[in-house]
Amino acid sequence: MSEIALRLEDVHVAYGNSQQSVLSGFSMSVRKGEIACLLGASGCGKTTVLRAVAGFERLQNGEIYVSQRRVAGPGVHLPPEKRHVGMVFQEYALFPHLTAQQNVAFGLRRMPREEQQARVTELLKMVELHSHANRYPHELSGGMKQRVMIAIALVSRPSLVICDEPTTSLDVTIEAQILDLLLELREKLGTSIIMITHDLGVIARMCDRVVVMYGGKVVEQGTAQEIFYNTAHPYTKGLMDSIAKLDTKKGERLKPIEGTPPDLFFPPKGCPFAARCEYAMDVCKENPPYKYQLSEEHVTNCWLQHEFAPDTEFKKEEAVAVEKGEVADGK
């Protein structure tokens, strides 16, 4: 079995003085060299997951491991600089008064000068920006700034890089170049990547594993192939249908998901998607769903997999309940 680069176990995160978790019972893992994607509507908790992994949010419950080392959990909260996690955000967080190479060198201030310069040169060559090392941020294009951000993320030789919509503000040509760069770095360095994107094309091209989130919870996760072609949750299908594809015809209306997301401070008792799901049963509204295993990688939290649920396009013969609540069978 491949080495696990990141593991989150039953993670809960609450904001402010609230005891109500906005991220509730979140679990996932990423293998070494794997690219995983968090998929879901704005406000579902994706960025909270990344912030918790990076060390910017304390856990209310649960544990986080990076390369088998526990970085967060009961009595443990390593600061961001000690987690060996690189971060690439959609905003270009560069010092405007420093050049590209000075921005990269900022995280190496305690390193001897000769070693620092060698490492900065190595990183800028790696992201193909060494010829622009002495330019200031205002002299760089959006794609160049993002390359600097990637170089900064790699300063500490992290085993994991987290990317929060790293290509959102870039045009399609530059986006392709940045995605190619991330794939190349994964191949060269064996770095694992966990990223957020709303672009299904990016997911299909980049990601080995997809985690679909809704209302602060995981509703489905599996390989990209399984999520796209063996969808097991109505919300995942709704996302696919609400986004334009290459074969979408001119004038064809996209199918929106009716209703609004739940308030994470006052979550529903049952499945968070029940109020918007056309297949919802009484049990969906009253009880959190069981977790069902569909394959080694593919799991879903949905009552439609229950043996007594009606036959729908989502029900899979191979589904096996692996985590059960206190609801009696058939209720």
Span 148-170, pLDDT tens digits: 999 999 998 999 999 998 888 78
| Cα-based distances in Å from 66 to 4, 5, 38, 159, 256 | 8, 6, 17, 8, 37
Segment holding 5, helix H or strand E: strand 4-13
pLDDT per position as a tens digit, 250-308: 777 778 899 999 988 888 999 999 999 999 999 999 999 999 999 999 999 999 999 99
Is residue 51 pLDDT above 80, yes or no?
yes
pLDDT of 266: 86
The pLDDT value recorded for residue 330 is 42
Evaluate if residue 328 carries a pLDDT over 70.
no
Least confident stretch, 7-11, 13-17, 314-318 = 13-17
Q: Which two tokens stand for residue 56?
A: 């910017």
**Residues near 230 by beta carbon (within 8 Å), at least 6 away in sequence:** 222, 294, 298, 316
* Percent share of the chain, pLDDT over 90: 73
Q: Give me the mean pLDDT over the 98-117 stretch.
A: 90
Q: What is the pLDDT of residue 300?
A: 97
Confidence at 325, pLDDT banded by 50, 70, 90: low
SS (H, E, C) 249-285: CCCCCCCCCCCCCCCCCCCCCCCCCHHHCCCCCHHHH
Paired with 88 in beta bridges are 163
Residue pair 270/288 in contact by the 8 Å Cβ criterion: yes
- What average pLDDT does the chain have? 90
Q: Rounded to whole angstroms, how far apart are CA atoms 303 and 289?
A: 5
| pLDDT (tens digit per residue) in 308-320 | 999 999 999 999 9
pLDDT over threshold 80, residue 327: no
Angle, CA 85 vertex, CA 80 and CA 91 arms, to 5°: 85
For 165-196, the DSSP string reads STTTTS-HHHHHHHHHHHHHHHHHH--EEEEE
Assessment of whether the complete model's pTM goes beyond 0.85: yes
Handedness of CA 20, 299, 39, 195 (dihedral sign): positive
Residue 82 pLDDT > 80, yes or no?
A: yes
DSSP state of 62: E
At 169 the pLDDT is 76
Using CA atoms, how far residue 271 sits from 22, 235, 285, 302, in Å, is 15, 11, 6, 8
Q: How far apart are CA 280 and CA 296, in angstroms?
A: 27
Buried b (16+ CB within 10 A) or exposed e, 241-278: eeeeeeeeeeeeeeeebeeebbebeebbebbbbbbbbe
pLDDT, residue 245, reads: 67
Instruction: Output the six-digit token pair for 177.
Output: 């170049």
Distance of CA 15 to the CA centre of its chain: 19
pLDDT band at 329 (very low <50, low <70, confident <90, very high): very low
End-to-end CA distance of the chain: 38
- Residue 1's pLDDT band, with cuts at 50, 70 and 90, is very low
pLDDT at residue 243 is higher than 80: no
Count other C-beta atoms under 10 Å from residue 42's C-beta.
8
List the strands of the sheet with 23-31, edge to edge. 23-31, 4-13, 61-66, 69-73, 76-77
